[in-house]
A and B are shown apart, each in its own frame.
Chain A
Amino acid sequence: MFYLRGCGRWVAASFTKQQFPLVRLSSDSAAPRTPHFDVIVIGGGHAGTEAATAAARCGSRTLLLTHRVDTIGQMSCNPSFGGIGKGHLMREVDALDGLCSRICDQSGVHYKVLNRRKGPAVWGLRAQIDRKLYKQNMQKEILNTPLLTVQEGAVEDLILTEPEPEHTGKCRVSGVVLVDGSTVYAESVILTTGTFLRGMIVIGLEMHPAGRLGDQPSIGLAQTLEKLGFVVGRLKTGTPPRIAKDSINFSILNKQTPDNPSVPFSFTNETVWIKPEDQLPCYLTYTNPRVDEIVLNNLHLNSHVKETTRGPRYCPSIESKVLRFPNRLHQVWLEPEGMDSDLIYPQGLSMTLPTELQEKMITCIRGLEKAKVIQPGYGVQYDYLDPRQITPSLETHLVQRLFFAGQINGTTGYEEAAAQWEKAREMSQGVIAGINASLRVSRKPPFVVSRTEGYIGVLIDDLTTLGTSEPYRMFTSRVEFRLSLRPDNADIRLTLRGYKDAGCVSQQRYERACWMKSSLEEGISVLKSIEFSSSKWKNLIPEVSISTSRSLPVRALDVLKYEEVDMDSLAKAVPEPLKKYTKCRELAERLKIEATYESVLFHQLQEIKGVQQDEALQLPKDIDYLTIRDVSLSHEVREKLHFSRPQTIGAASRIPGVTPAAIINLLRFVKTTQQRQAAMNESPKTDQCLRNADRLQERQL
Chain B
Amino acid sequence: AVNKAEEPQNPPQLGHLAIIKPLVYLTLRLSLPDALIRLPSGSRLCTRRSSGAAAPGSGATIFALSSGQGRCGIAVIRTSGPSSGHALRILTAARDLPPARHASLRLLSDPRSGEPLDRALVLWFPGPRSFTGEDCVEFHVHGGPAVVSGVLQALGSVPGLRPAEAGEFTRRAFANGKLNLTEVEGLADLIHAETEAQRRQALRQLDGELGHLCRGWAETLTKALAHVEAYIDFGEDDNLEEGVLEQADIEVRALEVALGAHLRDARRGQRLRSGAHVVVTGPPNAGKSSLVNLLSRKPVSIVSPEPGTTRDVLETPVDLAGFPVLLSDTAGLREGVGPVEQEGVRRARESCNFLATVVASVGAQSPSDSSQRLLLVLNKSDLLSPEGPGPRPDLPPHLLLSCLTGEGLDGLLEALRKELAAVCGDPSTGSPLLTRARHQHHLQGCLDALSHYKPSKDLALAAEALRVARGHLTRLTGGGGTEEILDIIFRDFCVGK
Looking at A57-65, A206-214, A313-321, the stretch in contact with chain B turns out to be: A313-321
Stretch of A8-16, A189-197, A262-270, A477-485 on the interface side: A477-485
Stretch binding the partner chain, chosen from A294-302, A539-547, A596-604: A596-604
Write out the residue numbers on chain A whose beta carbons fall within 8 Å of the beta carbon of B233: 84-85, 122, 475-477
Given A114-B236, A610-B54, A611-B55, answer yes or no on A664-B460 (Cβ-Cβ < 8 Å). Answer: no
Residue from the set A321, A328, A607, A660 with the largest chain B CB neighbour count within 10 Å: A660
Q: B487: CB under 8 A from chain A?
A: yes
Expressed in whole angstroms, the Cα–Cα distance for A482 and B459 within the complex equals: 12
Q: How far is A466 from B239 in the complex, measured between Cα atoms in Å?
A: 30
Report the Cα distance A84→B457, complex, angstroms: 19
- Enumerate chain A residues within 8 angstroms of B184, measured Cβ to Cβ: 664-665, 667-668, 671
Bound-state Cα–Cα, A643 to B372, Å: 53
Considering the complex, give the chain B residue whose CB is closest to the CB of A121: B460
Report if A606-B180 is in contact (Cβ < 8 Å); known contacts: A632-B188, A660-B43, A663-B167. Answer: no
Asked if A563 is at the interface of the complex by the 8 Å CB criterion, the answer is yes
The answer to the question of B235 belonging to the interface, with a C-beta cut-off of 8 Å to chain A, is: yes
Q: A660-B195, A664-B167 given as contacts; is B46 within 8 A of A419 (CB)?
A: no
CA distance A597 to B48 in the complex (A): 20
Instruction: Give the distance in Å from the alpha carbon of A122 to the alpha carbon of B237 in the complex.
Output: 13
On whether the beta carbons of A609 and B48 are closer than 8 Å, the reply is no
The answer to whether B188 touches A611 (Cβ under 8 A) is: no
Q: Does B191 contact A (CB under 8 A)?
A: yes
B257 interface contact, C-beta 8 A: no
Report the bound CA distance from A477 to B481 in whole Å: 11
Q: Which of B58, B195, B235 contacts A609 (CB 8 A)?
A: B58
Contact call A480/B48, Cβ cutoff below 8 A: yes
Q: Is A659 an interface residue (CB 8 A)?
A: yes
Chain A positions within 8 Å of B497 at CB level: 315-316, 347-348, 350, 419
Q: How far is the CA of A315 from the CA of B239 in the complex (A)?
A: 13
Q: Which of A302-358 contact B (CB under 8 A)?
A: 312-316, 321, 324-325, 328-331, 347-348, 350
- Per a CB cutoff under 8 Å, which of A315, A481, A610, A658 touches B58? A610
Contacts of A668 in B (CB 8 A): 174, 181, 184-185, 188
How far is the CB of A647 from the nearest CB of chain B, in Å? 14
Given A606-B59, A661-B192: A313 in contact with B464 (beta carbons within 8 A): no
Which of A92-100, A156-164, A693-701 binds B? A693-701
List, in ascending order, chain A residues with CB within 8 A of B46's CB: 610-611, 614, 650, 653-654
- Whether A613 touches B57, Cβ cut-off 8 Å, given contacts A119-B461, A596-B458, is yes
The closest CB in chain A to the CB of B177 belongs to A671
Question: Do the beta carbons of A660 and B166 come within 8 Å of each other?
Answer: yes
Chain A residue contacts of B495, Cβ below 8 A = 314-315
- Out of B5, B234, B457, name the residue touching A701 (CB < 8 Å): B5
Q: Is A579 an interface residue (CB 8 A)?
A: no
List B181-217 residues whose CB lies under 8 Å from chain A. 181-182, 184-185, 187-189, 191-192, 195
Q: Is B477 an interface residue (CB 8 A)?
A: no
Asked whether A672 is an interface residue with its Cβ less than 8 Å from the other chain, the reply is yes
Nearest residue (CB) in B for A701 is B4
Q: Which residues of A contact B59 (CB under 8 A)?
A: 606, 609
> B258 an interface residue at 8 Å Cβ cutoff?
no
**Residues of A contacting B58 in the complex (Cβ-Cβ under 8 angstroms):** 606-607, 609-610, 613
Query: What range describes how many residues of A lie at the interface?
Result: 35 or more
The reply to whether B482 and A478 contact each other, CB–CB distance below 8 Å, is yes
Alpha-carbon distance between A696 and B459 when the two chains are bound, in angstroms: 59
Q: Kindly state the separation between the CA atoms of A340 and B427 in the bound complex, as whole angstroms.
A: 77
Distance from B386 Cβ to chain A, minimum over Cβ atoms (Å): 56
Range, interface on chain B = 35 or more
Residues of chain A lying within 8 A (CB to CB) of residue B231: 118
Q: Report how far A611 CA is from B45 CA in the complex, Å.
A: 10
A84 and B237 form a contact (CB under 8 A): yes
Cα-based distance from A122 to B59 in the complex (angstroms): 28
Q: Which residues of B contact A476 (CB under 8 A)?
A: 229, 232-233
The verdict on A638 contacting chain B, using a C-beta distance below 8 Å, is no
Q: Is the CB of B38 within 8 A of A660?
A: yes
Q: What residue in chain B is nearest A462 (Cβ atoms)?
A: B482
Q: Which B residue sits closest to A607, measured CB to CB? A: B55
Contacts of B51 in A (CB 8 A): 480-481, 607
A477 near B180: Cβ-Cβ < 8 Å: no
Which residues does chain A contribute within 8 Å of B237, judged by CB atoms?
83-84, 114
Report Cα–Cα, A119/B459, bound state, in Å. Answer: 6
A661 near B195 (CB under 8 angstroms)?
Answer: yes
On chain A, the residues within 8 Å of B491 by CB distance are: 313
Question: Could you tell me the distance between the alpha carbons of A315 and B235 in the complex, rounded to whole angstroms?
Answer: 15
Is A493 located at the chain interface by the 8 A CB criterion? no
**B-facing residues in A431-480 (Cβ within 8 Å):** 451, 473, 475-478, 480
B301 within 8 A of A: no
A76 interface residue (CB < 8 Å to B):
no
Contacts of A117 in B (CB 8 A): 459
- Decide yes or no whether B60 CB sits under 8 A from chain A: yes
Contacts of B171 in A (CB 8 A): 664, 667
Q: How far is the CB of A386 from chain B (nearest CB, A)?
A: 18
With CB as the reference atom, state the residue of chain A lying closest to B482.
Answer: A478
Name the residue on B nearest A312 (C-beta): B496
Closest 5 CB pairs of A and B: A610-B55, A314-B496, A661-B192, A119-B458, A119-B460
What are 6 sample pairs from A and B whose C-beta atoms fall under 8 A apart? A115-B459, A118-B235, A475-B233, A611-B48, A660-B44, A661-B189
Known: A329-B239, A606-B54. 9 other contacts (CB 8 A): A114-B237, A121-B461, A122-B460, A321-B494, A482-B460, A617-B175, A662-B188, A671-B177, A701-B7
A residues lining the B interface (CB < 8 Å): 83-85, 114-115, 117-122, 124, 286, 312-316, 321, 324-325, 328-331, 347-348, 350, 419, 451, 473, 475-478, 480-483, 563, 596-597, 600, 603, 606-607, 609-611, 613-614, 617, 632, 650, 653-654, 658-665, 667-668, 671-672, 696-697, 700-701
Residues of chain B having any CB pair with chain A under 8 Å: 4-5, 7-8, 11, 35, 38, 43-49, 51, 54-60, 166-167, 170-171, 174-175, 177, 179-182, 184-185, 187-189, 191-192, 195, 229, 231-239, 457-461, 463-464, 468, 482, 485-487, 489-491, 494-497
